[in-house]
Structure 1
Amino acid sequence: AEEAGIPMALHANSTPVAWMACVHCAAATENFLCLEHHNVDNPWWEGLVKLTGSQPLITKGFANVPLDAPGLGIELNDDNVKAMMSKGAKYFEPTPEWDYPGRSYDKLWI
């Protein structure tokens, strides 16, 4: 699409962590048009993370791209994440089902 000059619209119906990965991808793409954000009306979504600087995630409809912080430039807000977890779920609980090299559990339907 970039070589043909076709604008690219990214779809992000995701957590704020995955959304910030999309923000960084968009910022590094010449033909970026827009990044869909499906949690605009979700009152707790933005509170799950915070930018490592003083800016909010979004200002006047535009994503702030942290350029002076490591990684995605965000930190988890542990208290808010824990408050939104399913009843009985544990924070960063072990996931031994993913510990088998060469085994992909997301393709069991094949």
Structure 2
Amino acid sequence: MYKIDKKRAMFILNKEYDNTIFVLSKGEGSQMTFAETVATISNLKVKANVRDIILVKSIQNGLDYLLDKLYYDELYFDKDILCMINRYVAANENFDNIGGFSISARI
């Protein structure tokens, strides 16, 4: 195993951008195809469930934030960064605690 420089790492991340969003949205239950996901990322109209479109755009916003932090060497994995990523990704789900951790008691 060898270490790659930041420029190469960012190239790989940007090359896998669409696929990463597609895989993450599938993990959240999206029914969109890869082509529909790429079209949504590119702000093109698709015939898909509105919930899935919002999900893909939310994941895209979170990934954009993460890539921006990486690009400017400002990514320090701490609670504030994690809450900000969660704020982007879960913007339409956790209204009473936007960006914070949701606590659920399971009995």
TM over 0.5, shorter chain: no
Structure in which a larger fraction of residues adopt helix: 2
